[in-house]
Amino acid sequence: MSLSRFPAPSVIPGFGFAFGYTILYLGLIVLIPLGGLILRASDIGLAGLWAVATNERVAAALKLSFGTSALAATFSAVFGLVIAWVLTRYRFPGRRLLDAAVDLPFALPTAVAGIALSAIYAQNGVIGSLFAPYGIRIAYTPIGIFIALVFVSIPFTVRMVQPLIAEIDRELEEASATLGARRGQTVWRVLLPPLIPAILTGLALAFARAVGEYGSVIFIAGNLPYVSEIAPLLIVIKLEEFDYTGATAIATVMLMISFSVLLLINLIQAWSRKRFGYV
Amino acid sequence: MLGPSGSGKTTLLRIIAGLEFATEGSVFFGAEDATHLSVQQRRVGFVFQHYALFKHLTVADNIAYGLKVRPRRERPPAAAIKRRVEELIDLVQLNDLGRRYPAQLSGGQRQRVALARALAVEPRVLLLDEPFGALDAKVRKDLRRWLREIHDRTGHTTIFVTHDQDEALELADRVAILSNGRLEQVGTPDEVYENPASPFVLSFLGDTARLPVEVRDDKVFLAGEALDVAVPPGTGPGKHDIYLRPNELTLTEAGTGVPGIIASVRRTVNGRRAEVRVAFSDKLIELDVPPGADLNVSDRIGLKVQQARLFPSG
């Protein structure tokens, strides 16, 4: 028995149309460009790709890109959950304004965000100057990159869990309390588990966004090779040197890593869905 | 606790549980003042109308929840929890369903899980908030009998909130009737039914017909005509309402008792049921009549009142 089979004609029409549109859209906008990218990169073969990926400068940039992205996405997931919780569960003046502000990183050109962030986190900036006396530099270091990535990825994690938090049934909390559970236990054992799939989705989106982020990071990173140079910047540098094969090679390596990480998160998510009874 | 919706029975139950706080008054569990205890400290078992089961936990884990969240010193060992859960699953007759998730159970089964979960913590009082309200009539009836059995076997003091008179009278040892946030009457089912303390209690328990009458010279007058009804002792003169209960009326010849006109006669499973238009009003009352009685629509009849239930009107 094959699981993937086209559906039989049914009373709910539109499969042919919708499916055709999906394939066309995905083909034109996603699959063909990515195919071209891989085709171009394949000029140098697997050995060549390996050579590019292990080049010292490229490897440092990849490590920085994926490392800070993972950290930033994890931080966003936790912090976003708290923001979503506060915005949904409590009523306070200015709540709607704050709620709208969460979407700002979506709307702002990221270059603007990058310039703003580097201005306040620079050593003579409002926040940067607080840390400078302790010898902590934020702008133009990986810490700066981390802050920029948190900035651009936080809306994803907030917006993913918010509707689920709004749907939590008050009676579940009351039931837990009558059974003797302290508040912390109720949050940990009753309220949090059903949110895990949404938190993971938010994490995946935040990670994807962070890996691909360019605009805000290059302003705050300082772009020192081996220290604060991210992989997307390296691609741009290669392009400016007319090294198209090198650029596509780095892009392909990024693509492969991103794909495996997202696949892994999706698998964990599918497992957690089953585990928590969403069959 | 019995009362129409909006009468405050759920609020009162939640105050007893500690889920809500009273503006005045105290809550006592036996001799202990529980007014200032938190929900957790009160150790009540609460069953919600919509079950409030933890969807991400299996039936067994739901039941074990109250034991697992105890502080380590008071928590029974894992094996004891497991044994207790099995006992409870057995008690609520959900054998073999311990590993299922709530989404895979029917409404009646879910409510039984909720009850087992509440019983697991050995509550000092079991509070049930319209637990069968969301279930269909057949399941309700079965669960009612079953709950009574469980109660007799486990002996937990139980407060059961409902708006269904049958449910209340059948289940309770003592019934408290509420209306508009006030306790109207507390007593055994027989007491509240036989001697209702207020017109509200009387009209809330079963079908009644209310007619305006006047009491004068130890007689009851309906629209100027004296009725063949004994005035209960202690009833003063003046305007009253008389309340008629179908099962306290007997059908007699026209000219005795309260006059009436047959509006319709229908066959039922147990006999025949007549709808009678009472005494020149458009109030209809349903009466069971013997199968052999010769009754036709628009026959004039009399209704003999076995017990006059009079309350001052207004």
Give the tokens for residue A33: 């460009």
Q: Which chain A residue shows the shortest CA-CA distance from B103? A: A277
A209-244 burial by CB neighbour count: b if 16+ within 10 A, else e?
bbbebebbbbbbbbbeeeebbbbbbbbebbeeeeee
Structural domain contains residue A28: no
Structural domain contains residue A35: no
Structural domain contains residue A36: no
Q: Which chain A residue shows the shortest CA-CA distance from B56? A: A276
Instruction: Give the pLDDT score at A1.
Output: 45
Q: Which domains, from first to last, does chain B contain?
A: 9-199 (3.40.50.300), 209-312 (2.40.50.140)
Integer Cα distance of B190 and A244 in angstroms: 93
Determine contact: B29 vs chain A, CB below 8 A.
no
Q: Which amino acid is at A124?
A: N
| Full domain range(s) for residue A181 | 46-275
pLDDT digits (tens, 9 = 90+) for A124-175: 888 888 888 888 888 888 999 999 999 999 999 999 999 999 999 889 999 9
With an 8 Å Cβ cutoff, are A181 and B65 in contact? yes
Instruction: Give the pLDDT score at A279.
Output: 45
Determine contact: A178 vs chain B, CB below 8 A.
yes
Determine contact: B44 vs chain A, CB below 8 A.
yes
pLDDT digits (tens, 9 = 90+) for B111-128: 999 999 999 999 999 999
CATH number at residue A183: 1.10.3720.10
pLDDT digits (tens, 9 = 90+) for B64-95: 999 999 998 889 999 999 999 999 999 988 88
Confidence of residue A3 (pLDDT cuts 50, 70, 90): low
Structural domain contains residue A5: no
Q: Which chain B residue shows the shortest CA-CA distance from A182? A: B40
Number of independent structural domains in chain A: 1
Most A CBs within 10 A among B46, B54, B110, hence the mutation to make, goes to B54
ipTM of the complex: 0.80
- More confidently predicted of B210 and A61: A61
Structural domain contains residue A217: yes
Structural domain contains residue A244: yes
Which residues in A lie closer than 8 A to residue B104 (C-beta atoms)? Answer: 279
Whole-angstrom CA distances from B126 to B8, B119, B148, B159, B223 are 18, 8, 13, 6, 51
Structural domain contains residue A13: no
Q: Between A196-212 and A56-89, two packed helices, what is the crossing angle to 10 degrees?
A: 140
